[in-house]
């Protein structure tokens, strides 16, 4: 059992360290997630754990507590439609708007164990003709060291590869190793993994054409959601694209972003175009070009500045009323 005062201590700690907003009745969640941490550090009970966390050598235990409290649920091509939107609409409009040779920059901001960035990498491989030989940089970040280690290894159980991954992709992009499957090295090399806490400054990451920040804001309270969204918006290219999870929205949280009028879960900077100046790409994928496939990037070089939007593109900007508003983001823990 956890005493009320200790529970309040953990709630404050988690809110301050990771943004996790625990409602006032989730003691059982702490108990189930933190018992292994207490075992790991030889700590007897929550009172002692709270005491150790107040002490001078708290950092290592604090990291383990924060990590254990993250929910890393994810799977390949989760919700499917964001990846369809990515492939059929976002990639063509971004590729068309960027000069040849300019790398496309994608940030997967809560990458968990890697299924989301690997799904993006596979989409890019499958649609190399759209990208037209440009380099693509995928930065995948998360607060969980444990999840990041798994993501980097790219090794998944039979159960995990059966969740959302088309069999053709499994056979094409994975290698069986015992009873597990590993993402092939060329796909792994397309992604740079880094530790990043969304509560900390991330301005040094540079500018991104596409941001995936899915199924993490649900754990934050509204002021934290607003703050993270506004800081993400500052990193987005003027015609950039932001994907949020199905239970997440920008509505009521920030004036910097707006939903796309046509594609659920997709958001843009307020006042920017929906990419409606690329109608051909909305109907069918562009004819394959003889361009070479996208180059994998091993490192994550300093960002390239994006050119200013041309005046005619600015003039074509439209702001259609959004057709879809996702449900207001209830905290997954019921808060």
User: Footprint of ligand SAM on this chain (CB under 6 A)?
Assistant: 18-19, 70-74, 78, 110, 112, 116, 142-144, 147, 196-199, 214-216, 219, 245
CA dist., res. 100 & res. 91, Å (int): 14
Q: How far is the CB of 94 from ligand SAM (least distance, A)?
A: 20
Residue closer to ligand SAM by CB (options 70, 127) is 70
Residue closer to ligand SAM by CB (options 199, 276) is 199
Alpha-carbon 296 to chain mean position: 19
Q: How far is the CB of 154 from ligand SAM (least distance, A)?
A: 15
Residue closer to ligand SAM by CB (options 113, 127) is 113
Residue closer to ligand SAM by CB (options 105, 214) is 214
Residue closer to ligand SAM by CB (options 80, 323) is 80
End-to-end CA distance of the chain: 22
Q: How far is the CB of 73 from ligand SAM (least distance, A)?
A: 5
Q: How far is the CB of 19 from ligand SAM (least distance, A)?
A: 4
Residue closer to ligand SAM by CB (options 110, 236) is 110
Q: How far is CA 192 from CA 10, 98, 117, 242, 304, in A?
A: 32, 22, 10, 19, 17
Q: How far is the CB of 113 from ligand SAM (least distance, A)?
A: 7
- Residue 194: phi and psi, rounded to 5, are -145, 145
Task: Output the DSSP codes for 163-199.
Answer: SS--HHHHHHHEEEETTEEEE-HHHHTTEEEEE--TT
Q: How far is the CB of 22 from ligand SAM (least distance, A)?
A: 12
Exposure class string for 243-264: b at 16+ Cβ within 10 A, else e: bbbbbbbbeebbebbbbbbbbb
Q: Which residue has the tokens 């792994």?
A: 188
């Amino acid at each position: 059992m956890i005493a009320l005062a200790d529970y309040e201590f953990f709630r404050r700690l988690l809110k301050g360290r990771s943004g996790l907003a625990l409602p006032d009745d989730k003691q059982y969640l702490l108990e189930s997630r933190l018992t292994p941490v207490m075992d790991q550090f030889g700590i007897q009970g929550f009172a002692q754990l709270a005491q150790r966390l107040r002490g001078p050598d708290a950092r290592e235990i604090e990291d383990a507590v924060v990590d254990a409290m993250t929910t890393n649920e994810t799977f390949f091509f989760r919700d499917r439609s964001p990846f369809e939107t990515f492939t059929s609409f976002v990639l063509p409009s971004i590729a068309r708007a960027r000069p040849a040779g300019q790398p496309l920059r994608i940030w997967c901001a809560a990458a968990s164990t890697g299924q989301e960035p690997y799904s993006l990498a596979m989409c890019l491989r499958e649609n190399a003709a759209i990208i037209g030989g440009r380099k693509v940089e995928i930065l995948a970040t998360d607060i969980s060291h444990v999840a990041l280690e798994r993501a980097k290894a790219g090794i998944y159980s039979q159960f995990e590869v059966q969740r959302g991954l088309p069999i053709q992709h499994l056979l094409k992009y994975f290698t069986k190793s015992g009873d597990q499957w590993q993402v092939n090295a060329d796909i792994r090399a397309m992604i740079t993994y880094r530790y990043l806490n969304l509560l900390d400054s991330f301005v040094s990451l540079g500018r991104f054409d596409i941001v995936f920040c899915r199924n993490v804001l649900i754990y934050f309270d509204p002021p934290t959601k607003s703050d993270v969204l506004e800081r993400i918006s500052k990193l987005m290219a003027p015609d950039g694209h932001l994907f949020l999870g199905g239970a997440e929205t920008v509505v009521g949280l920030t004036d910097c972003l707006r939903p796309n009028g046509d594609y659920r879960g997709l958001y843009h900077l307020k006042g920017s175009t929906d990419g409606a100046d690329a109608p051909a790409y909305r109907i069918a994928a562009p004819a394959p070009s003889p361009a070479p496939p996208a180059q994998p990037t091993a490192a994550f070089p300093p960002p390239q500045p994006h050119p200013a939007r041309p005046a005619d593109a600015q003039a074509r900007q439209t702001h259609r009323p959004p057709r879809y508003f996702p449900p207001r983001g209830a905290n997954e823990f019921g808060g």
